[in-house]
Amino acid sequence: MNLIAAIESRLGTGWSIVDELGTGATSRVYLARREGDGERVVVKVMKSGVASAERSRYFVLEMQVLQKMSHPNVVPITDAGEAHELLYFVMPYIEGETMRHRLQRNGAFPIHEAVRIARDIALALGHVHSHGVVHRDVKPENILLSPGAAILLDFGHARAPAMSGSESREDKKYIVGTANYVSPEQVSGRRIADSRSDLYSLGCVLLEMLTGNLPFAASSARETMQKRLDEPPPDVRSTRPEVPDEVALILKRALVIDPAERYLTAGQMADALSSALELIPVA
């Protein structure tokens, strides 16, 4: 029995894999549909040949993280197991597109929509952080824009209490995340990423939604990360003067280099974004 057949067997009678949605360094993502009612689910499977102890641990951690999440802005897990000697987990299929696809197609977002999406993700992060989990890879590729809500995806780089001290030491040795959104403290290696690192990344995402430009963009990933330590964050109103003071202040606080000067919690940032939303007309 091949992998696809094994997955279909685990899903149950009437289920079939109909498409491959994407592939990463360690996993493949498939779309499955059930004959009859047409229900669809997404199946994430660890790739063959990459199931080292470390990568298996992170894949299992992602399953464990998502299994205990229950929030409208966080993608849930509905099932998990092993197929063809590979780990997999199942998530509901949600209509929509990633923020990255939307940015590539349309550029900058309307201000009210950008702030609403950032508020949704701040609420998601508040729920995630309440479970002791740090996402560590908040970026447009990992945000799904579904009708009426933004949903946080992909916990493949997450840190959770289950992770050991040896892994904490590895966090200081290697930068985990994506160059355009990683926090200054991760770049410098002086501290392990905590919840405030996620808020910095969300600030980068909001800035990109409002301007259509990558924050701190440079010719290489190394230069991009170094700019976070050497330069103040871009002023959103130099590109988009109509952004309200309240939103500019949220960005300034989220993107400050010292994590102690950022919002203390995702809930605080969500509250600030909600208050700003009340003052912004819907485009």
Catalytic residues: 137
Distance between CA 234 and CA 132 in Å, rounded?
31
- Is the Cα torsion angle 83, 89, 92, 94 positive or negative in sign? negative
Number of helices (H), then strands (E), belonging to the chain: the values are 11, 8
Task: Give 272-277's long-range contacts (Cβ < 8 A, gap of 24+).
Answer: 272/246, 273/115, 273/116, 273/118, 273/119, 273/122, 274/119, 275/246, 276/115, 276/244, 276/246, 276/247, 276/250, 277/112, 277/115, 277/116, 277/119
Pairing of strands 79-83, 86-92: antiparallel
Q: Enter the tokens of residue 281.
A: 């007309």
Give 250-269 as a 3 state SS string. HHHHHCCCCHHHCCCCHHHH
DSSP state of 220: S
Residue of 74, 73, 150, 119 lying closest to 278 (CA atoms): 119
